[in-house]
Amino acid sequence: MTTVTAPQPAAPPAEEEPVPAPERRIALRQIPVEEVGVAAASLVAGASFAWVLYGRILPVSGWQGYLITAYFSFLALYGLSSYLRTDAVQARDRVAGTVVATGIAALLGTVTTVLVYVIQRGWGAIDVDFFTETQEYFGALSGPDVAVGAAHAIVGTLEQVALATLMTVPLGIATAVYLNEVRGRLAHVVRIVVEAMSALPSIIAGLFVYAVLIIGFGQGRSGFAAALALGVMMLPIVTRTTEVVLRLVPGGLREASLALGASELRTLWHVVLPTARSGLATAVILGIARAVGETSPVLLVAGGNARMNWNPFEGEQESLVFFIWRNVKSPSDQLNSLAFGGAVALVAIVLTLFVLTRLLAGRAPGELSRRQKRRIARAAAAK
């Protein structure tokens, strides 16, 4: 008997899997060409809208309000155009990037404007006499042949800031080490005191030194008193910045050093502090920049002196901020120019200290020097 097998139904054709669309990569550090055009068009539209709204419809006037209205109108229009062309996420990202970019541009523009104005006003007073002469023989009735300069103020500023730095930097770093590495019982109290000192007005520091040193101990005004007042202002900045830097040092470095048998002190001295070297330099720079520009403590306790005083521990001593304050309010155009020259010297001192500090301690932790790189290259070539 023959068995007939029924034919099996044909299997349905397999459905082809959809090919995923290729991902579109976004270059984070590149600005598309079309975005520049959209931003420019949004800027023009925002300025026009602000002109119509602020100058024609609303009963107000003034260029400050116009700029604010135009800026926010530009952001709103640029965000709307980005949302219509892309999506909400990219639109928010582009608006945030625009806010950051315009903020940086405004900050750089402001700083540049101030520097250009100060240099333009004070460049005429910068000559050889400015760095070698004092104001001892210059008065309101002095003729044009009398030499006048700011040598006494420059010397006073350098001595006062150097004394304040020598007193403050070791104490600030030691306090930060205690707060972050030792973490003793009084760490919480010390941190509160440091934070309170950060908000201390500079005039209070000057009054404190004036009451304790000048009135209490009967010492006269001097550069050392000014250095003490500047040190009070520098200490919280150096301490807080150093503490933040020490927190950024990886804990694995400490654990590896301790596992190799090093003591905590040796680990701190040879591992933690060298790793945080660049941050420590930044802390010192921030403290010096704060001390160089302080005016009210110096006015209270330094006294000011038109003569050269090389001894900061005895007698009144001039500083650049005192020099600027004294001469900028003078009716003499020559003294006004001299005051702006002192401002130029002050900026130059801060910039020089910053460059020197970055050159001495600016190499990143673990980064090889050029000499070490050349030695390694020679050893590799010899093999």
Per-residue pLDDT tens for 26-83? 555 556 667 778 888 888 888 888 888 876 777 767 777 788 888 888 888 888 888 8
DSSP lists the bridge partners of residue 303 as 317
Q: What are the structure tokens assigned to 328, written together?
A: 């900028």
What is the spatial distance between Cα 119 and Cα 345, in angstroms, rounded to a whole number?
10
Nearest to 154 by CA among 313, 350, 354, 360: 350
What values do phi and psi take at 317, rounded to 5? -135, 140
CA separation (Å) from 106 to 53, 102, 112, 346? 24, 6, 10, 23
Average pLDDT of the chain to the nearest whole number = 80
**Rounded to whole angstroms, how far apart are CA atoms 261 and 333?**
68
Give the chain's radius of gyration (CA, Å).
Answer: 32
Provide the pLDDT confidence category of residue 140 given band limits of 50, 70 and 90. Answer: low
Q: Which of 97, 269, 266, 84 minimizes the C-alpha distance to 173?
A: 269
CATH number of 151-364: 1.10.3720.10
What is the arithmetic mean of pLDDT over 349-354?
Answer: 80
Q: Which of 335, 307, 322 shows the shortest CA–CA distance to 135?
A: 307
First to last CA, the chain: 88
Q: State the DSSP code for 311.
A: -
- Judge whether residue 247 has pLDDT over 80: yes
Question: What does the pLDDT look like over 76-106, one tens digit per residue?
Answer: 888 888 888 888 888 888 888 888 988 999 9
Residue 104 pLDDT: 92
Residue 351 exposed, middle or buried by CB count within 10 Å (0-12, 13-18, 19+)? exposed
Q: Give the model's pLDDT for residue 307.
A: 82
pLDDT at 108: 92
pLDDT of residue 12: 57
Domain boundaries, the chain: 33-123, 151-364
How far apart are the C-alpha atoms of 365 and 123, rounded to whole Å? 40
pLDDT at 197 over 70: yes
Structure tokens at 279: 């941050």
The more confidently predicted of residues 148 and 117 is 117
318 pLDDT more than 80: yes
pLDDT tens for 306-315 read: 788 888 888 8
Q: State the maximum Cα–Cα separation within the chain, in Å, rounded to a whole number.
A: 143
At 303, phi and psi to the nearest 5? 90, -40
- The pLDDT of residue 113 is 92
Could you tell me if residue 9 is left (phi over 0), alpha (psi between -120 and 50 degrees) or otherwise beta? beta
Q: What percent of the chain has pLDDT over 70?
A: 85
DSSP 245-271: HHHTS-HHHHHHHHHTT--HHHHIIII
Give the pLDDT mean for 228-243: 89
What letter does residue 317 receive in the DSSP assignment? B
Selection from 7-16, 151-160, 274-283 with the highest mean pLDDT: 151-160
Question: Does the pLDDT of residue 181 top 80, yes or no?
Answer: yes
Q: What Å distances lie between residue 48 and 66, 72, 101, 152, 371, CA to CA? A: 10, 12, 22, 55, 59
Question: What single string gives the DSSP state of each residue in 168-216?
Answer: HHHHHHHHHHIIIII--TTHHHHHHHHHHHHT--HHHHHHHHIIIIIII
Q: Could you tell me the CA-to-CA distances from 24 to 21, 27, 33, 85 in Å, in that order?
A: 9, 10, 17, 15
Instruction: Return all residues near 83 (Cβ < 8 A) that are at least 6 apart.
Output: 91
pLDDT at 201 exceeding the cut of 80: yes
Mean pLDDT of 269-275: 84
List Cα–Cα distances, 88 to 75, 85, 93, in angstroms. 14, 10, 9
| Token output for 179 | 């707060």
CA–CA gap between residue 273 and residue 365 (Å, rounded): 10
Token readout for 156 is 């006073």
Nearest Cα to Cα of residue 134 among 349, 294, 309, 303: 309
Q: Report which of 147, 161, 100, 94 is spatially closest to residue 321, judged by C-alpha positions.
A: 161
- Could you tell me the two tokens for 227? 């250095």
Q: Is residue 14 pLDDT above 60, yes or no?
A: no
